[in-house]
Amino acid sequence: MFIATYNRWQLTETEEGSNFPAVTGTDPATGYDGEAERTAELRRRLEALAAEFPGFEVKEVPRKVLLNPGPATMSDNVRLAQLAPDICPRETEFADLMRGIRRDLVRVVHGDPDLHTAVPFCGSGTINMDVCLNSLLPPEKKILVLNNGAYSARGVDICRYYDLPHYVLDLPVDRPIDPDEVRIALQKYPDVGLVYTTHHETGTGVLNPVREIGALVRAAGAYFVVDTTASLAMLPLNLCEDPIDFVMSSAQKGLMAVTGLSFVIGRRDIIEASAGFPKRSYYCNLYRQYNYFETTGEMHFTPPVQAVYALRAAIDEYFAVGEEVRFARHQELAALARRELAALGFREMIAPEHQSGLVLAYLYPTDPNWSFTAVHDYCYERGFTIYPGKVAGLGCFRICTLGTLVPKDIENFAAVMKDALVATGVALPVTYA
């Protein structure tokens, strides 16, 4: 039996038997114009084939609007890229595919291919953190973790797990890192060889001043490793201009591909120097993976083949749309989401001047009928996913505007959110004691 799949973008506000988000068309500035119309035409053609050939089945894949901070709502093009011919990943053809992806990942962050390289790994974004922290610490040196949120705190956990010598600079979670605090810490700890922090703390939406911090780290003679999982391909990064040695991300985040493939991008000379550093992991060693790519063109161990094809398509989309258009679209959608939720009375956790413009964190209302689970489930049943916050002891939820979203998605979500509040007995506008 032949099975054809497609991702449904509805063409009307309502469709009998369906509660999934409606998309009536898109703004050409988003890069997703005509998606709904193309899908409708594809559906018509597939249904005609199904009518002609009894063994041909058409499977409709409902479109979901993911407002969680990754994985993202992906395009049909990326989804269908996974339907590639079966291939052994040790074939030259696949090695060429990987080589092109590595080259273009460096392009995404405006690196110099002679100075910088991309090293993919099979795993979630946390594997990048593990790889960098256990691989890049020079002998007799210590790590300084700048911790102002759940994801930089994960770096502390990794240091403790490997028993890596480290210092922790704990900072407030509701504001960016103060470079003056970093300057004082670097003066206090002259044995620091690697500084680690997060660019965009997705637990709160706080954006850290990594360029200012990087200048201090470089002056101190240490390596600067930045978790850019939630900012790469969503906010400007330039490895040739910014004083950052390593960045990282996952395919399902800003590039909007599928889960299972992550990558570190950074300086070749440091990676090559790390060949002489203490080895702490067999699988998660940056030099071993880099060296295998450089000598064979292949990932050291079996890659997620379909995820690689999807990432290739996602990178092509990224360059076809253009980074400036992509960046602006995320910001515009976040601004729209902010207006819509403000109209419902929700209070933001982070001051606007400290935010990334990608993730919005909202405090739970104090209404006795408020239940995040009930509201989440109501929205989820209607095609929208919202996500709880990651701030210890503080009830909050998050809205993230990455993915192939358009303004109509945000407007539809706001309407469903309002209905969810009414259905669960929460007074409007929502209140705070």
Average the pLDDT over each of 34-48, 58-72, 172-186, 228-242 and give the range with the smallest value.
Answer: 34-48
> Which parts of 27-156 are beta strand (E)?
56-62, 65-66, 116-122, 142-147
- Is 4 a residue whose pLDDT tops 90? no
395: pLDDT strictly greater than 70: yes
Residue with the larger pLDDT of the pair 33 and 402: 402
Q: pLDDT-based confidence at 22, cuts 50/70/90?
A: very low
Res 405 pLDDT > 60? yes
Give the Å distances, CA to CA, from 271 to 154, 210, 355.
22, 21, 32
Residue-wise pLDDT tens digits, 232-249:
999 999 999 999 999 999
- For residues 76 and 395, the answer to whether their CB atoms sit within 8 Å is no
Query: Residue 418: which pLDDT band, with cuts at 50, 70 and 90?
Result: very high
- Domain 92-319, classified CATH 3.40.640.10, yes or no: yes
Given a contact cutoff of 8 angstroms between Cβ atoms, the answer to whether 24 and 78 are in contact is no
| Percentage of the chain exceeding pLDDT 90 | 80
Q: What local confidence, expressed as pLDDT, does residue 11 receive?
A: 33
Domain residue limits, the chain = 1-62, 92-319
Distance between CA 412 and CA 178 in Å, rounded? 38
Mean model confidence pLDDT for the chain: 90
Radius of gyration of the chain (CA): 23
